[in-house]
Amino acid sequence: MKKSIILVLSIVFVAGLISSPALSGKDPIKIGLIAPLSGPCAFQGTSMKNAAEMAVDEINKKGGIHGKNIQLFWEDDESTPVKGVNAAQKLVTKDQVLSVVGHYNSSCTLASMAVTQKNKVPHMCPVSVAAAITGQGYQYIFRNCATNPMQVNQLADYVFKYMKESDDNKVGFFCEQTDYGKGIMEIFSDRVKAEPGWKVVANEIYKPGDTDMIAQLTKIKATNPDFLLLGGNMTEVAQIVRQGKEIALKTQYLALGGCSNDKFAELAGKNNIEGMTNTSYFETTSKNPLAKEFVSNFHARYKADPDMFAAAIYEAFYILEYAINKTGVDYKSIGEWRKALRDTVANINALPGVQGPTTYGPDGQADKQVYIVVWKDGKRVIIYPEGS
């Protein structure tokens, strides 16, 4: 009895391995999501998965696309590129997904986009910001958020124009010792050097996971910077501003999108970040009607406000919905379908979304608005562009 069960199971298993994945009329539309659901960025990854599940449920409730439901396949990359590549490989070859959405960390996206490019699978990149992702001529990668240089330049434009304090403005840097942190420091510092009346006075680094920042902060304090740009992720930046308060460092803090998050205010303490100026990709106070609807539905479902990562993922799923709808669902092979979908996505023009309209350039990079926000009493207030 036991033997025959094993035999049957083995036959089913082997049959499963050798059968070619033919498309059938009843198959759902398979979409893969890869995010860090454990490890140091688990908080952000969970937010991404929540938004993806919400978008898929909404689309399926409306009757799916051309009568077919979307089925979500999710994988955990733990913020490590090797796991990210393995996850992409599994989704693309074993699960045979139509499109991959994914990664939080740029390092993971940079590693796995080689897999999606090689297998000709449309790869939506809603969150990773490294410039190199859309700078290498890959045909299957599409990003619906601003790159790191775009947000740093936007911040520099704003700071030079509206925040000038005197004729001699001193800028300090305290950045993460990674490609992300170094990129922020280099772009902003080049802009400072080119601007008359502005100069760089301090340039310190820390490693991701560091907790004691006092030594570097004491050094920075001795140079009396008017502005201090913190280029890193929210866990470390929160500890920097708290320890800055301890040594009575008085400066105008500047930070990037990774710190435009309610959790950041909780970790840093809202009194310690009063007046801090950040870039942001998405704000719950946005006047965009699609965003308003998204925020209220997300709140009803998860009893929490969506962050920028949730918004970007949600938008990416609706870009896919629009593109699949336009491409159709009747293809002989998954390869043909993926190719047709890629061509539709590449030609998307001014498609409305929760983060504003999306138009992809020839490199797959969308031209997205970056907001400038200021922290007031633990809340972010949009100060640029006005009226957003």
Partner 1 sequence: MITFLSQLINGIVLGSVYALLSLGLTMIFGILGIVNFAQGELYMLGAYVGFYLIAILKVPFLLALLISMIVMGVFGLIVERVSFRPLQDKSHENMILGTLGLSIFLMNGAMLLFGAEPRRIETPYAEIFVNLGPFSISMQRLLVFIVTAVVIVLLSVFIKKTKAGKAMRACQQDLTAARIVGIDIYRIAMLTCFIGSAIAAAGGVLIAPLFLVSPVMGLKAIAKAFVVVILGGLGNVGGAILGGFVIGIAENLTAGFISSDLKDLIPFTILILILLIKPEGLFGKYIPEKV
Interface with partner 1 (CB under 8 A): 38-40, 42-43, 177, 204-207, 209, 211-212, 214-216, 218-219, 222, 235, 238-239, 242-243, 245-248, 263, 266-267, 269
By beta-carbon proximity to partner 1, the closer residue of 113 and 229 is 229
By beta-carbon proximity to partner 1, the closer residue of 70 and 267 is 267
By beta-carbon proximity to partner 1, the closer residue of 270 and 292 is 270
By beta-carbon proximity to partner 1, the closer residue of 133 and 265 is 265
Task: Report in angstroms how near the CB of residue 268 gets to partner 1 at its nearest.
Answer: 8
Task: Report in angstroms how near the CB of residue 245 gets to partner 1 at its nearest.
Answer: 8
Task: Report in angstroms how near the CB of residue 254 gets to partner 1 at its nearest.
Answer: 19
By beta-carbon proximity to partner 1, the closer residue of 122 and 183 is 183
Beta pairing class for 70-76 and 99-102: unpaired
By beta-carbon proximity to partner 1, the closer residue of 28 and 39 is 39
- Cβ–Cβ < 8 Å for 169, 197: yes
- Cβ–Cβ < 8 Å for 204, 219: yes
Task: Report in angstroms how near the CB of residue 23 gets to partner 1 at its nearest.
Answer: 39
By beta-carbon proximity to partner 1, the closer residue of 125 and 217 is 217
Task: Report in angstroms how near the CB of residue 33 gets to partner 1 at its nearest.
Answer: 19
Task: Report in angstroms how near the CB of residue 355 gets to partner 1 at its nearest.
Answer: 25
Instruction: Tokens for 126, please give them.
Output: 């809603």
Task: Report in angstroms how near the CB of residue 13 gets to partner 1 at its nearest.
Answer: 31
By beta-carbon proximity to partner 1, the closer residue of 133 and 241 is 241
Task: Report in angstroms how near the CB of residue 388 gets to partner 1 at its nearest.
Answer: 30
Measure the CA–CA gap between 318 and 321, rounded to whole angstroms: 5
